[in-house]
Amino acid sequence: MKPSDFQKTVQCRFESCLKKVVRHIVKDYQQGLKRRKDKEIPFCELPEIFVENFAVWADYETDYTIFSVYGNVYIVVDMELKGLIREALIKMILGFDIALEIEEE
């Protein structure tokens, strides 16, 4: 059964409407890309000074150890040094030698 002239007309209008919608969507997408291209800069084109400022360094309590000796406060970051200082403090406080193993974190 062949479609009537009215059905053909409706089908043509529908297809025309779809083509217009698709054309406008593509056009809007391309304009959006152009807008982004004009406003955005890739990281590779940024000066190194700006990129270095993006990094945020945070200090956590687990990254260092605080020792208080005779009212002086010492902050130690190195794990091996931390173990040696702890061992020396125990020697000093207790007055005898204790072999301690360095804690690995």
Q: Structure tokens of 73? A: 């406060």
Number of domains in the chain: 2
Structure tokens at 15: 């297809």
Q: What angle do CA 29, 25, 28 make, to 5 degrees?
A: 40
Q: How far apart are CA 74 and CA 66, in angstroms?
A: 6
User: Does 32 share its domain with 61?
Assistant: no
Asked if residue 44 and residue 71 are part of one domain, the reply reads no
**Share above pLDDT 90 across residues of the chain, in percent, rounded to a whole number:** 27
58: tokens are 């945070």
Query: What's the token pair of residue 48?
Result: 């190194």
- Mean pLDDT value across the chain: 81
Range of the domain at 93: 57-105
Q: In sequence order, what are the beta bridge partners of 65?
A: 76
Q: Full-prediction pTM beyond 0.85?
A: no
* Strand duo 72-76 + 65-69: pairing: antiparallel
Condensed to tens digits (0 to 9), the pLDDT of residues 48-84 reads: 888 888 877 776 666 777 777 788 887 777 777 777 7
Tell whether 61 and 105 lie within a shared domain. Answer: yes
Residue with token string 């260092």: 64
